Amino acid sequence: MKYFVSLLLLSVIISCKNSEETKVINTENTQVETVKDSLIYPEEKHFKSLRQVTFGGDNAEAYWSFDDKQLVFQSNNKNWGLECDQMFLMNVDDTFKDSKPSMISTGKGRTTCAYFLPDNKHFVYASTHLVDENCPEVPLRENGKYVWPVYDSFDIFVADLEGNITAQLTTEKGYDAEATVSPKGDKIVFTSTRSGDLELYTMNIDGSDVKQITTELGYDGGAFFSPDGTKLIFRSSRPKTEEEIKEYKDLLARGLVQPTNMELYICNADGSDLRQLTNLGNANWSPFFHPSGEKILFSSNFEAERGFPFNLYMIDLDGKNLERVTHGETFDAFPVFSNDGKYLIFSSNRHNGGGHDTNLFIAEWQD
């Protein structure tokens, strides 16, 4: 859900971090080959090259086609005539400094979380346009705290690459969004409030055989399958105390959540063997499996005292060997590997002239 980017950048997050010291693998003293690329910071040893794709607005949640030739992403770039997030299509070698990509959503309502289907000719995404063709309001704060809207008008649709909607996969009352597709091409995982809470569900790519995956109170979202399709990684805020539970339920009743304290959880694709992967404090989110299936790349501000910066980190599936991957001073998030594992696309505030624009970057990855 990309509006996390622009809203979070305008707010200051103050949250309690774990009292236990967390060890992060130090890469700053590692011998790194000098790369003549101003976009790469010297400590970023996993980036062999780095290319900026967009140049304005908030651009995020870019996902590869199964053949790695194209990507879909969402943007609110006002220079493209947008009032809120819409979906766009790009070829892998495109750059949009002086041009505009093809919009493949309706241009109505707000959209989020597009993802290619296995045929490379269709994609799934969530949109609010059936309830209101206008952009819904985006609240920033509730009682002085940063909040994140979960619109009950979101439903999940299938569209072709010309933007024609070919199917509607969800019709339940409430929020249905954050859909991603298994690399096996058989399942979709998504977040829904149909049970009364924000839980994960899976379904076939035609919308059939819906199964609830999580059941514990709290916001479970942003889920992705492992490369072999057997596991799920996702972010969650799990209220524990009576005060936290009441606050969570009260906010959810009004279509709001607080995403400032989230940890990563991992489970089998059917929901079994659920366990917490991180215990870092602050906001840990936008996880994605490393191509090996043995590590998770994610965004976190756990090292920040007042909300920033967000950087990318990598961690083993057993929660060990935490490594910082990016070394920015503002915001790096939404890391997604190409299916062949050679490239990583992510969103960043680097090279934006000190403004608030969040752009897409494609890195050539090296382990």
Buried b (16+ CB within 10 A) or exposed e, 69-80: ebbbbbbbbeeb
**pLDDT band at residue 34 under the 50/70/90 scheme:** very low
pLDDT band at 364 (very low <50, low <70, confident <90, very high): very high
Q: Residue count of the chain, please give it.
A: 367
Q: Please answer whether residues 37 and 49 qualify as being in contact, where contact means their C-beta atoms are separated by less than 8 angstroms.
A: yes
Q: pTM (2 decimals)?
A: 0.92
CB 207 within 8 A of CB 169: yes
The mean pLDDT of 7-13, rounded to a whole number, is 42
Q: What is the DSSP string of 214-280?
A: --SSSEEEEEEE-TTSSEEEEEEE---SHHHHHHHHHHHHTTEE-TTSBEEEEEETTS-S-EE----
Average pLDDT over residues 103-125: 98
Residue 35: band (very low, low, confident or very high) from pLDDT cuts 50, 70, 90: very low
Residue 346 pLDDT > 60, yes or no?
Answer: yes
pLDDT above 60 for 310: yes
Residue 23 pLDDT > 90: no
**Token pair of 6, please?**
């622009």
* Mean pLDDT comparison of 14-28, 35-49, 182-196, 295-309, highest-scoring range: 182-196
Which residue reads 């929020």 in tokens?
Answer: 175
Classify residue 24 by burial, with Cβ atoms within 10 Å: 0-12, 13-18, 19+. Answer: middle
- Per-residue pLDDT tens over the stretch 138-182: 877 777 778 999 999 999 999 999 999 999 999 999 999 999 999
Residue 181, Ramachandran bin (φ over 0: left; ψ between -120 and 50: alpha; else beta)? beta
For residue 60, pLDDT beyond 70 = yes
**Mean pLDDT along residues 57-81:** 97
pLDDT in tens, 195-207: 999 999 999 999 9
For residue 17, how many C-alpha atoms fall within 13 Å in the half-sphere facing its CB? 15
**Statement: residue 22 has pLDDT above 80:** no
Q: Note the pLDDT of residue 43.
A: 95
Looking at residues 223-241, what average pLDDT do you find?
Answer: 97
CA gap 365, 347 in Å, rounded: 15
Confidence of residue 46 (pLDDT cuts 50, 70, 90): very high
Q: How far is residue 117's CA from residue 175's CA, in Å, rounded to a whole number?
A: 21
Residue 300: pLDDT above 50?
yes
| Per-residue confidence band for 37, with pLDDT thresholds at 50, 70 and 90 | low
Output the pLDDT for position 13. 36
- pLDDT at site 146: 85
Full DSSP string of 313-332: EEEETTS---EE----SSBE
Domains present along the chain, CATH in parentheses: 3-365 (2.120.10.30)
Burial class (CB in 10 A: 0-12, 13-18, 19+), 26: exposed
- What is the average pLDDT value for the chain, to the nearest integer? 91
Q: Residues 276-292: pLDDT tens digits?
A: 999 999 999 999 999 99
pLDDT at 9 over 90: no
